[in-house]
Amino acid sequence: MDNEPKPFQPAEDNYDQQFLNCHTEQPHRHSQYESCRFENCHFAKAQLENSGFADCQFIHCDLTMVSFAQSTLNGVRFESCRLRGVDWTTVSPAMLSTAFHECVLDYSVFDDLTLKKTPFIKCSAIESSFDRCDLRHTTFTESKLTRATFSGANLQQADFRGVEGLVLDLSNCRTDGLQLNLTDTIETLQSYGLDIAP
């Protein structure tokens, strides 16, 4: 049956391939994926390392604590995926271009990465760390950011409208053009001990 899980057996070079309902417990390294679609795959704790992903899609995949160490992610879209506990700082920073839609990114680490113009749409990034990131023009529309940290981040022109749980330390962030809802602005000011009158 098509819905039965099957082993993930990629070739060294993979172009325009579909990987459906795959699972793996083995490391997969030194492979190239271009215009590939991964759907309903179980890659929790998988080691997809030293590989290249270009113009690929991951849809409804479990990528909890996956390792993309030294891999390139160029034009990669994650949609409705579980990506808890991923250390994105191990990805090759020269080719990190991603989009996240309705993904769970809780407890992930993005520190010091350039994520300019990256969309995080309707995602959960609870207790994730974006410290010292370049987040210019990045969009977090309708995302959950409870206890997420942005210390030293560049938030110029970033869009945080409609987010939940956002608290920013404005003393060490660049915030020119930062977009916030009024409720988010009040919560941020209250975190400094200010009493905001109605």
What's residue 2's pLDDT? 58
In a domain, 49, yes or no: no
* Other beta carbons less than 10 A from residue 108's beta carbon: 22
In a domain, 159, yes or no: yes
| pLDDT at residue 38 is higher than 60 | yes
In a domain, 75, yes or no: no
What's residue 149's pLDDT? 95
Helix, strand, coil percent values for the chain (each to nearest 5): 10, 30, 60
In a domain, 59, yes or no: no
Find the CATH number of the domain harbouring 122. 2.160.20.80
- The answer to whether the predicted template modeling score (pTM) of the entire model surpasses 0.85 is yes
How does pLDDT run across 162-186, given as a tens digit for each residue? Answer: 898 888 877 788 888 988 876 655 5
Q: What is the mean pLDDT of residues 35-56?
A: 96
What's residue 184's pLDDT? 57
Q: Residue 133 sits in which domain range? A: 105-198
Residue 151's alpha-carbon distances to 23, 80, 110, 169, 173, in angstroms, are 37, 27, 12, 7, 7
Rg for the chain, CA atoms, rounded? 18
The total of structural domains in the chain comes to 1
Query: Considering the chain, what percentage of its residues have pLDDT values greater than 90?
Result: 71
How does pLDDT run across 66-125, given as a tens digit for each residue? Answer: 999 999 999 999 999 999 999 999 999 877 899 999 999 999 999 999 999 999 999 999
Average pLDDT score over the chain: 89
